[in-house]
Amino acid sequence: MHNISPLSPYDRLEHVEPTVENDQLSFKRVAQTNEAELSRLQGCLSKLIEAAEVLDKEFLDEKLKCQGKIVSILLNV
């Protein structure tokens, strides 16, 4: 499993909230700490990194089998 460095207390999730004042629409960036969401995102990133490592290994294994000659085949599916 690939380890991602822990998030610092300054890491925030940001989103945009609309506000209306005097019939004028504006948007404000809001940053909030949401440990559960940050943890979920960290888990997703770990899974993506692990998947990329698997694909890299598979690609290199196939490349070795073909003596470094990789051919792409496009199929009409």
What are the structural domain ranges in the chain? Answer: 1-77
14 forms bridges with which residues in the sheet?
31
Q: What is the pLDDT of residue 6?
A: 53
- Please state the rounded mean pLDDT for residues 71-76: 67
Q: What is the pLDDT of residue 49?
A: 95
Q: What is the Rg, in whole angstroms, of the alpha carbon atoms belonging to the chain? A: 22
- What's at 24, amino acid-wise? Q
- How far apart CA 1 and CA 24 sit, in angstroms, is 50
Q: What is the pLDDT of residue 2?
A: 47
pLDDT in tens, 22-55: 999 999 988 877 788 888 888 999 999 999 999 9
Q: What is the pLDDT of residue 77?
A: 61
- Please state the rounded mean pLDDT for residues 56-64: 88
Q: What is the pTM of this model?
A: 0.50
